[in-house]
Amino acid sequence: MPTPSEEWKKLQEALKQAPTKEAREEAAQAFREHERKQGKKSDPVLVSLAFKKDYPTAVRISDIPKELEKNPAFFEHLKKVVVEEDES
């Protein structure tokens, strides 16, 4: 398994915070930096099969930073995915 990049670690740390406006902006910036380092390969879509949630069920990877900044529920959802990955 590849070692997480510094940008990915910054994203994980930002997502461990409470979903304040500042934490959401920090997470969005860390995600942008991570994507910039990865290079533009494609624009896949993150899909959640959750029903009746306060965040979109399909988000283009390129739109994740915008969604992180504006939507605390999406911040919490991504926190579950990214931080749990770190702890496993």
The 10s digit of each residue's pLDDT in 27-86 is 999 999 988 888 777 778 878 777 777 777 788 888 999 999 999 999 998 898 888 766
Whole-number Å distance between alpha carbons of 42 and 40: 6
Which amino acid is present at 36?
Answer: R
Kindly list the domain boundaries of the chain, sorted by start residue: 6-87
The model carries a pTM of: 0.77
Residue 2 reports pLDDT greater than 60: no
